[in-house]
Amino acid sequence: MAQMNWVFLDDFGGRHRVGLYHGDRTGHVMVHCNLRVVQIDFSVKESKMYSFFIEDELCELILEKKDGVFGYEFRVNKKVDTPRNRIRGVKAGQIRRYMAIMVSGIVLLLAITFFGLRWFGQVQEAKRMASSSIVSKYSKENMKRLISDGKRTVARLHLVLGDNPEDQKISYTLLAVDSIMEQGDFGVGKMSPILLPSGFPFSEGDEFDAVYLPSDPQIHRVDFFRPTRSTTTTYLRLATQAEQKNNPAVSPEKNICRVLTAAEKAGWPSLAHFIFQEKTPKENARHNAQSYARLLRDPDLAKAIQSGCWDK
């Protein structure tokens, strides 16, 4: 795994650590600044550039491939039209103010390839759907219609608070071409944190793959084991934060490497063990300190962490 680090000093004396990880075999890329993940990309095998702001400075990380070998460069773009670059042309003494502009055309995260077992038989499929998804108007006939004629979209989740804590529920909206198609909800009761059927904590705006019948959108299914790219990135961030919080004696770089290696080797669902590593089995029977320890004791994963993260 290629690892690069730079130190950027801003005009106000601030010191910022910028780092990059680039997997030799997988091509996965992670860019972090001041121990905060700012970019994640997958299967990067050709030259590419990533842009992000540090304070109000537009910074760029360039991955350039020549003769089959990658070179890496960090630079501050002082030519593009940004608030900070305009201030550079104004006389000293003018009021300086920070402006944060979202970089237009942020590189979309590449789709994460999910590997899973095929479900055999309608009984197994029904059990899986009951524990992993929300199905509207469930019946065997409707499930067959969804499989044969269903169209994929995205379901976005929002928390709806009732008069009593027991009345809170999650509302979801099916989206198609940026327009609202169909809505639904499911109760979560007095739960803190709110856990989705996948075992991950709910965050406002979480998005998951869904399938619906174009002829009758009320027949649909939301699959919590197919998070979108943005939701998976949220899980990576929560797992990294938990690992850094609970392992302060370990270098931040090694903590980040451990999380990324587990996600690569054991799949993204393993991130829940990192997120809830402080919980007891009584507090969280599914993901807790014991399940986290079992994950890290897995021989293949332990070997991968030792070989890839020992010098971080």
pTM above 0.75, yes or no: no
DSSP string, 189-224: -S-SS-B-TTSPBP-TT-EEEEEEETTEEEEEEEEE
Q: How far is residue 47's CA from residue 49's CA, in Å, rounded to a whole number?
A: 7
Distances (CA, A) of 144 to 105, 138, 154, 158, 248: 39, 10, 20, 29, 51
Going along the chain from its start, the domains and CATH numbers come out as: 2-88 (2.40.128.180), 121-227 (no CATH), 230-309 (no CATH)
Q: What is the DSSP letter of 204?
A: T
User: In the structure encoding, which two tokens stand for residue 72, read together?
Assistant: 């890496």
User: What is the full per-residue pLDDT of the chain (312 aa) written as tens digits?
Assistant: 788 898 888 877 788 999 989 988 888 989 998 888 888 989 888 999 998 888 888 889 999 988 888 999 998 887 777 777 676 566 544 544 444 344 344 444 443 444 444 444 445 554 555 456 677 777 778 778 878 888 888 889 988 887 776 778 888 888 875 556 677 777 777 777 888 888 899 999 999 998 888 888 888 888 888 899 999 999 999 999 999 999 888 888 888 898 999 988 888 899 999 999 999 999 999 999 999 999 999 999 999 888 888 765
